[in-house]
Amino acid sequence: MLDPYLREALVGKLTALADDEVVLAQRLSEWVAHAPILEEDIAIANLAQDELGHAKLYLELRQELDGSDPDQVVFLRDPLDYGNAVLVELPRGDWAFTMVRQYLFDAYEGLWLREAASSRYAPLAEVAARILKEERFHLRHSSLWVERLALGPRSPTGGPRRPWTSSSPTPASSSAPWRGRRPWWRRGSCRTSRPWKAPTWRRWEAS
């Protein structure tokens, strides 16, 4: 049996984790039928479905602790009661922003899940190990896209690639739609105005 204080803390943590997954899944689903290539239409739909599945696992753990109904927790709460990270609720933006956000989230979640998989609370450890198997594929997918975006497109004349440089407004810092010629990977327009700063970036990169 968990101590009442630990039980309350775990309920809060599981709810926040589920909130992250639900909100991110909604943002990912906005790309279905709008991804840059056909293969990504399928991949992004699968990612969204996986994130919702992870939320369900977290909320079922919460249900074992406090008897709450997962559907009511997701659908019948006031939006202001959600405890998700601001990162996951930012507007969809363009494809580059979506992939960079996904990479950051996947990297963070991978770190957390590896720690949670060794928890002394067996139900949490079991769920974390199960989710971690899928998150490895998520991170592989998003990291490949980040690398592809950083390198830029292949030149039709065989010249050097033009990487995505800091001289261009980035999706995370732009406060208005980009002007001029659209980058090769851009499909939508980004209107985000709150940059998301990652104090644990170095730890992600070292993992």
15 within domain boundaries = yes
128 within domain boundaries = yes
Report CA 88 to chain centroid distance, whole Å: 6
Closest alpha carbon to 84 in 117, 60, 108, 110: 108
The CATH number assigned to the domain holding 100 equals 1.20.1260.10
160 within domain boundaries = no
Distance CA 127, CA 55 (A): 11
Task: Report how many domains make up the chain.
Answer: 1
187 within domain boundaries = no
172 within domain boundaries = no
Q: What confidence tens digit (pLDDT) does each residue in 47-106 have? A: 999 999 999 999 999 999 999 999 999 999 998 999 999 999 999 899 999 999 999 999
Q: What confidence tens digit (pLDDT) does each residue in 104-113 have? A: 999 999 999 9
The parent domain of residue 202 ranges over 4-152+192-206
Which one has a higher pLDDT value, 99 or 168?
99
183 within domain boundaries = no
DSSP codes, 150-184: HH-PPPTTS-------TTSPPTTT-SS---SSPPT
143 within domain boundaries = yes
Record the pTM: 0.75
Distance CA 111, CA 202 (A): 12
| 103 neighbors 139 (Cβ within 8 angstroms) | yes
Which one has a higher pLDDT value, 18 or 182?
18
